Every structure is written in structure tokens, then in C-alpha cells.
Amino acid sequence: MTNRDFTSINPSTPNYHARYIHSYAIVIGIDTYRNPLLRPLGKAEADARSINEVLTAKPYDFQVEMLLGQQATRQAITQALKKIISITQADDRVIFYFAGHGYIHPNNRGFDVGYLACADTDPDNPFDGLEYDEVIKLTHFALIIFSNVFKWL
């Protein structure tokens, strides 16, 4: 492992040197959804806050956009991703962290498609969530370490 591998970085190591110009993160945690069919999660928002604490502290110094609970709508998450794309450059790093529900719905060819359930997702409309592949496509325009924690329905 190298220092560019986030999991190998130990902040107490005195010889840690960041190899990135800027560090950004989108941190999302959703405990309670607008639609009661999406059962509440107990620790997603607390997990997101903990990740935020680590990333904003020394030596990492990430600039974090955190969306919690009802703030984490499909539109707000998409806007945060597009903002990151517009400001990142080749020597920047970005982390996308999602703690919340996810679900799978088959497309018209019978292949399963994964979705992230946003705070305003309507589970009766299977295409209402944020398509996992859409997030991946957007990340092709920024250097993103994709981290997610979600519960499949």
C-alpha cells in the first residue's frame, strides 16, 4: 500500500505527507425518509458526522459538503456531485460517502439496477432514487474515491 491509498494513512505517523493539492468530500447520512415505506435507520447520520470529523481534522483537511436527513434530496445530492466536478482538478481527491438505504430494480432487459434512496425517494416509483450508475458516470469527471454504506431494502 502507498500513501495514496486512503486506508493506509495513519494520522499519528509523523512522516505523513499529502500528495494531493485539494481534498473534497460529499458526506451523506439519512436516518429517516419522507416515505414511511423506507424504514428509519438508527446510525446513518451519526456515521456521516463521524466521517466528517475525521476528514475535516488534521492532517486530512478535507472541504466537506455534508447532507443529513431531509437535506439529502435527489436534487441536492446531484447538485453536490456537479459542484465537485466543476471545481476538481487532476491533483485533487474526492470522497463520496453515502450512509442510507439502497435498492435494486430490474430494467426492461431484466438486469438489476442499483439505486441510492434519497430522503425524498418514493419507493412506489422505482426510478425515483439516484441511480448508482449515474453517480459512477458523474464521478468519471472527478477523481473520486467512492465509499458507500447502505442497506438494501
Domains and CATH numbers, the chain: 20-152 (3.40.50.1460)
pLDDT of residue 10: 54
- The lowest-confidence range among 62-66, 77-81, 89-93, 97-101 is 89-93
Report pLDDT digits (tens) over 47-79. 999 999 999 999 889 999 999 999 999 999 999
Residue 133: is its pLDDT beyond 50? yes
Beta bridge partners of 100: 150
How large is the C-alpha radius of gyration of the chain?
A: 16
Residue 151: is its pLDDT beyond 90? no
Residue 88: pLDDT band with limits 50, 70, 90: confident
3-class secondary-structure state, position 64: strand
pTM of the predicted model as reported, rounded to 2 decimal places: 0.78
Where b means 16+ CB within 10 Å and e means fewer, 68-105 reads: bbeebbbebbeebbeebeeebeeebbbbbbbbbbbbee
pLDDT of residue 41: 93
